[in-house]
Chains A and B, each alone.
Chain A
């Protein structure tokens, strides 16, 4: 493909089209960030005058946003805890043990990621309705965990695969017990992956809409459901400010994951550096 269409005109055309597509992806987000500071909050761009009123309105008396925000945060925190418990155990089973029917277990884990969320939400609605649990934050958190835990499992599988098992073997050979190995070797090395899994579980639950909408009641309205309602039924200009805050959260979370990953990659390298120097001293040694 490098050889293909080498001409300058072709290159410029491709770059231009690619830039337009990138704008197509980025602009809806940029527009919200800008409009949230605009005096005319609805469908006018670029803004003529600037204001912080929409952000102030979020916390005015009678505003529904603080309640929705804290409910979403509570539910997301609960389902992060559930997802991490499920994720750590499941990843250990799938990576570090001999599991019968391993591929069936793996397929079960992938299930919620590929099945339409509306179908999962409908099933959960039919599950919790007879139990009179509609509107219960616990029910919503349990529902979100169905979607968030597979993501945590996948991230933690990748994390455990990335940890050099020989470090654990080396500790065992020096007489460390299984608990000590878990506490002093595996956990510190897996910590960045666990933080990433926690962040992604949190975002998944925090942004989840279908399950929340089916399981919510008048009193339990999560933030995305409130955003949806204010876009369809009640016109509330503060929705732009809320959207901007949600964007900021997402970017912050991704930045945090990147930071944690970066710190974590340094950590394993420093542990393995002993081995690398051995490799330099003994170039004829067995390549692992």
Chain B
């Protein structure tokens, strides 16, 4: 009797404490859950419903058919193309810059990171305007090129695809630099030293050891900047011409100018599906990378 008492007594309060902690957790989680369910999940859900509804309220897929044919299809393809170009460029620039920063002295590296991070917190609208000033016929870039008497200067750098890609790349670059810097810092340098001690050349080490180790990070950084570019609106609208209309611009036009909500909803859903597919791919790549890292460490 005494034994069961001493064994049972400490378990009970702990259990009560645990259930109290659960109740407190649910109570505190309520505001964020309710808020986002009402103002984030439900609106997206009703967008989905609207994209499947005809004018008389019956079920239809013709908004999707519209969105995937003619001009709308070419806008979708333009969006994918510009996003891909942006992803590749921001990946290459990000790789070089992150690589250079890992080799700097701590103080200089900190300063360089500041130059990477601060622009990210300046409104994209403002940075886009900065590019418009710089890339104009009499802007800094063309003036410099003309004074160096580069043949063909001044160039048309605005209101075409080059302008858009320059703009979007500079918006995505902070993301790729930060991601790749983290990945590069995580590379176990002893693996490189081991390869070198066994006689591997520099190129071999880079190709066979370093690149496979950072590859998952490269893939997810590239995918992420691709996904983020898909929904971009400000820079393509301000720095591009009519041929650089992206899907977000189209959604905006249909809502604010043409009152074509169903069509806009269908395009929003397409954008959403593309984004989610990309995120899934990021997840697959990161888990692949994690298993590879584990293997190389053992």
- Write the residues of chain A forming the contact surface with B, with a CB cutoff of 8 angstroms: 1-5, 14-15, 17-18, 21-22, 24-29, 31-32, 35, 42-46, 85-86, 89-90, 92-94, 97-100, 105, 108-109, 111-112, 114-120, 122-127, 142-143, 145-146, 149, 153, 203, 207, 209-210, 213-214, 224, 227-228, 231-232, 239-240, 243, 246-247, 250-251, 253-254
Contacts and interface: CB of A to CB of B under 8 A. Distances in A.
B286 interface: no
B39 A126 contact: no
Interface stretch (B5-13, B70-78, B124-132): B124-132
B127 A28 contact: yes
B46 A86 contact: no
B122 interface: yes
B44 A21 contact: no
B202 A231 contact: no
B123 interface: yes
7 contacts: A27-B140, A44-B139, A98-B18, A99-B25, A112-B36, A120-B44, A127-B42
Q: Which 5 A-B pairs have the closest CB atoms?
A: A116-B231, A28-B130, A123-B43, A97-B25, A18-B100
Contacts of A127: 39, 42-43, 46
Interface in B228-245: 230-231, 233-234, 237-238
B55 interface: no
Contacts of B248: 116, 118, 210
Interface residues of B, number: 92
B136 A43 contact: yes
A108 B39 CA distance: 12
A22 B268 contact: no
Interface string B23-46: 011111111110111011111101
Nearest to A26: B115
Contact of A31 (B26, B119, B140): B140
Nearest to A129: B261
B210 interface: yes
B47 interface: yes
B240 to A, nearest CB: 12
B170 interface: yes
Main secondary structure of the interface of A (DSSP, over half): helix
A207 B121 CA distance: 9
A237 to B, nearest CB: 11
B133 A35 contact: yes
Contact of A119 (B22, B96, B118, B272): B272
A122 B136 contact: no
A1 B192 contact: yes
B146 interface: no
Contacts of B255: 122, 125, 214
- Count chain B CB atoms within 10 A of each CB in A116, A247, A253 and give the residue with the most: A116
Interface string B93-134: 100110111110000000010011111011111111111111
A26 B202 CA distance: 33
Contacts of B103: 1-2, 14
Contacts of B231: 116-119
Contact of A247 (B122, B138, B234, B264): B122
Contacts of A210: 233, 248
B139 A100 contact: no
A4 B100 CA distance: 12
B104 to A, nearest CB: 9
B219 interface: no
A214 B256 contact: yes
A137 B248 CA distance: 24
B30 to A, nearest CB: 8
B85 interface: no
A29 B137 contact: no
B189 A2 contact: yes
Contacts of A92: 24, 28
A115 B144 CA distance: 40
B97 A18 contact: yes
Contacts of A239: 129
Contacts of A85: 31
B132 to A, nearest CB: 7
B87 interface: no
B206 interface: yes
B160 interface: no
A122 B251 contact: yes
Contacts of B30: 89
Contact of A126 (B24, B47, B133): B47
